[in-house]
Amino acid sequence: MANLNYKFGQFVIVISVKNYLIIKDLIVMQKLTTGIFAGAIVIGAASAAYIPVQVGYQVEAQLQQVVNVQNAKVNSGFQIELLNYQRFAYSTTFLSRITLADIDAQQNGRPLLSLDIQHQLQHGFGKVRFVSELAPEQQGNKFLKDYFNDQSPLRLKGEFDHNSLNLDAYLDGFTLKPQGQEGTIYVQPAVAQLFYQQGEVVEGIAQNHYRLNTVWNGADLIAGRDYLKLRPASFKVTGSQATDYLWRYQSQLGLTGMEFGNQGFVLKAGALLLQDQFSLTAQEDKTPSSIHYQSQLKLQGLTGEQFGQTALKINSASLAYQISGPTVANTEALISASQQIDPEQMSNEQAQQILPLLIEFLQALNVQIDSLNVSTPEGSLDSNLQLQVDASQDELIQALSAPMLLTRLLDANANLLVDKTLVQSTMPLQMLAMQLYGAGAYEEKEDKMSVMAELKQGRLTINGVATE
């Protein structure tokens, strides 16, 4: 195969034809690759310009959908408007106006209370980031000028995409002095964090869940000689969607203390803890069958003083109760029907639609106080209670129109044990003991006053003795 000779001064470069063809192919390939790369850059640049714009359109469509769903609810309590919507390539700004429903104000020509919130969104290739706060310059937020020197005490920021939301809310500390009234309100800062995740649809139910954590540093309210002090508090809740209308959840509310009083009386409470949980009980085939709610309240210390003298002292108190019985199908039907009805403008046809569902719900309802415990320096009190409705549909309809008849339709069983030392030092318990003596129903168990009460078909029996 011939060679190609290239002479540069005294130097001669000899390249074989075979190597020349290889070099030529490499040059062609390089040009082709450069062209492809340049084309990719152009396409990428076009995508970079298109995707944020497309995200902006999607965000607007989703926001409008949320607004439409909310405003379509009959008795939601408020309406939402999107105003001054300005969408740009990488950002969006708009104003949301929340107007509270007030039929009395509408009928009497008074202006409705509204709240204006300014939003700024940044959207690109990832999640949409946003910052929101009350808009002081808006007429709907006139109270910001009156009470907060045109500064928004509430700020929101976070990010979201098509199936998740992260939200942080900040409440600045502020002081309020109501016009024309004697008093001051001092509100301490608070922070809340919300996470929401939309999951896959399994057997027709979206596996959505949420988590909320809130911390608040408390507040002081002073009105003349009266005052209320709320110590730091926290609130936590997690939930997951169980059906179209029902969510499983568990929550915990904690308050480190509170104090209420005036010059003559002071009431102080120690730490307060409230825990509750809502779930669905399942049959053997794992399908939800009925609802179940349980709650527990614990209080560490409660004291009351009147003119410097101790009038009340409780070392601790607790209450645990649960509500169960109604089926999931009945509960969902009742919720669905109630959402379509305005209670203040209910027609006879609507009442006939929701009444059977309510009757079925009440007939299945079972309320049980597992324990009520109060501990004092003089002794303790322990009690429990079980309550349910035993009535036909016609009887319940009559009782709903005449609540005094409801006691005849209740079945209840209660047990009470009280230390005799506590009975002797507490006037209401002394009176109860005297009444039981008079009826021949007083009983004691191990230095405790014992009361076993049963209510059935309107008749009350205490310790086996029927009462009038």
Q: Which amino acid is at 448?
A: K
Can you tell me the distance from the alpha carbon of 20 to that of 403, in angstroms, rounded to the nearest whole number? Answer: 105
Task: State residue 75's pLDDT score.
Answer: 66
Q: Which amino acid is at 24?
A: K
Task: State residue 57's pLDDT score.
Answer: 77
User: Cα–Cα distances in Å, from 434 out to 342, 428, 431, 452?
Assistant: 50, 10, 5, 16
Can you tell me the distance from the alpha carbon of 175 to that of 187, in angstroms, rounded to the nearest whole number? Answer: 6
Q: What is the DSSP letter of 402?
A: S
Question: Of 328, 337, 340, nearest to 355 (Cα)?
Answer: 337
Model confidence pLDDT, tens digit, residues 422-454: 999 988 999 999 999 988 999 999 899 999 999
- Tokens 């509430």 map to which residue? 154
| 280 and 248 Cβ atoms separated by less than 8 Å | yes
Task: State residue 152's pLDDT score.
Answer: 76
- Neighbouring-strand partners of residue 277: 250, 294
Task: State residue 28's pLDDT score.
Answer: 43
Would you list the DSSP string of 130-195? EEEEE-TTSGGGHHHHHHSTT--SEEEEEEE-SSEEEEEEEE--EEE--TTSS-EEEE--EEEEEE
| 123 and 100 Cβ atoms separated by less than 8 Å | no
Task: State residue 105's pLDDT score.
Answer: 60
Per-residue pLDDT of the chain (468 residues; tens, 9 = 90+): 444 444 444 444 444 544 444 444 444 444 444 333 333 333 333 334 445 556 677 878 888 888 888 778 766 678 888 888 888 888 888 888 888 776 666 666 666 677 888 889 888 777 889 898 887 666 656 666 666 666 778 888 999 887 889 999 998 888 887 666 678 889 999 999 999 998 887 777 778 999 999 999 999 998 888 899 999 999 999 999 988 889 999 999 999 999 999 888 999 999 999 999 999 987 766 666 899 999 999 999 999 998 888 888 999 999 999 999 899 999 999 988 887 777 667 778 877 888 889 889 988 999 999 999 999 999 999 999 999 988 888 888 787 777 777 778 889 999 999 999 999 998 899 999 999 998 899 999 989 999 999 998 888 899 999 886
Can you tell me the distance from the alpha carbon of 99 to that of 79, in angstroms, rounded to the nearest whole number? Answer: 5
CA quadruple 374, 219, 179, 117: dihedral positive or negative? negative
Any idea of the CA torsion for 43, 49, 55, 61, to the nearest 10 degrees?
Answer: -110
Neighbouring CB atoms inside 10 A of 425's CB total: 14
**Would the pTM count as exceeding 0.95?**
no
